[in-house]
Amino acid sequence: MGVDGTPPEVDMAIPETCNGQDDDGDGQTDEGFPVGGPCAVGIGECEASGEFLCTNGGDRICSALPGPEVDEICNGLDDDCDGTADEVFAGELGLACSVGTGLCATMGTVICGEGGLPTCSATQEEATPEVCNDADDDCDGFTDETFPELGDPCSVGQGACAAAGVAVCSEDGSGTTCDAVPRNPAAELCNGLDDDCDDQVDEERSCGTYVRDQCNVWLGWAQFGAGPPAPSETWGACPVEGASVRPNLRCTGSTPDGQLRFLTLADNYELSADDQLAFAFTCNDEVDFLFDGVPERLANLPTSFELSLSLGA
């Protein structure tokens, strides 16, 4: 009983629940339960959107249902709905990579590509025709394959200037060249070598090989008083066995091996002790030496004699 004799007030309100009714009698329905508001369930690719609804039991739920889990692929998404995207590719993504071979090779990083698989972000360069440059220009995995002579032995220069090397790429890449450097020419010596590198050996007239290859020895007989009284270049005009330089004068020359030919005198040629012996030494049809100024007479020579020539090196 109240102090004024009236019965005490009794709070008859009940807690509000989510049921579409004003349970607590305050003139509002389902206050504290924002029914109809947006909501979502699930994570990753399983996430679904809906709105809040009340249940028969007075609770609030989301109207959406999460999507099904699938196997993880490389696509930047959380396909298996575990809260992490592309986790099965974590050891590959972001690593350095390259595409193409030779000069077509380009660097990039591993990213997710079409089909859900990792791929390299780089795009390879276009191939070009192969040139000789120690590179794979046509991007076929082979270097300078159109120049099979690379590395083969080669030489430059001639004679004593010759130097050995190997075939290498030329500066413009169009072919190969020998990497050897020829030696400098030197003065020609009598040594069987081409010292001055002119493709001739011992070409100086003082060399035995020059004498052997370029020179001839001529012997002649002349009746007394008919031969040359002194050295005469007319000897250079006696290149044939039995040839006549002038009346009553005959001569013969050496063969390439240094041996003298036989000289056959005419039947009416009478050799006497007063006849003269003449001697000439010619090189390339030029007279280099004539015995001396006074022809020897056969009377002053032994009955037989041998002319020995040293025409070697």
Q: For residues 135 and 215, which has the higher predicted lDDT (pLDDT)?
A: 135
Residue 208 has pLDDT above 70, yes or no: no
pLDDT at 167: 97
At 56-69, the pLDDT tens digits run 777 888 999 999 99
Please tell me the distance from the alpha carbon of residue 250 to that of residue 306, in angstroms, as a whole number: 19
Residue 119 has pLDDT above 80, yes or no: yes
> Which DSSP string do the residues of 95-157 spell out, in sequence order?
-EEEESSGGG-EEEEEEE-GGG-EEES--PPPP----SSSS-TT-SS-SSTT-TTTT-EEEES
At 270-290, the pLDDT tens digits run 556 556 565 656 666 554 444
Residue 9 has pLDDT above 70, yes or no: no
Residue 107 has pLDDT above 90, yes or no: yes
pLDDT at 66: 93
pLDDT at 300: 46
Decide: pTM greater than 0.75. no
Average pLDDT over residues 184-211: 81
Average pLDDT over residues 72-77: 95
pLDDT at 98: 95
CB proximity list for 35: less than 8 A, separation 6 or greater: 18, 51, 52, 53, 54, 60
Long-range Cβ pairs for the range 106-114 (8 Å, 24+): 112/74, 112/75, 112/76, 112/86, 113/74
Q: Percentage helix, strand, coil, to 5, in the chain?
A: 10, 25, 65
pLDDT at 32: 76
Please tell me the distance from the alpha carbon of residue 125 to that of residue 104, in angstroms, as a whole number: 4
Average pLDDT over residues 244-256: 51
Q: For residues 195 and 240, which has the higher predicted lDDT (pLDDT)?
A: 195
Task: Decide if 143 contacts 135 (C-beta within 8 A).
Answer: yes
DSSP-based three-state secondary structure for 62 = strand
Please tell me the distance from the alpha carbon of residue 243 to that of residue 237, in angstroms, as a whole number: 9
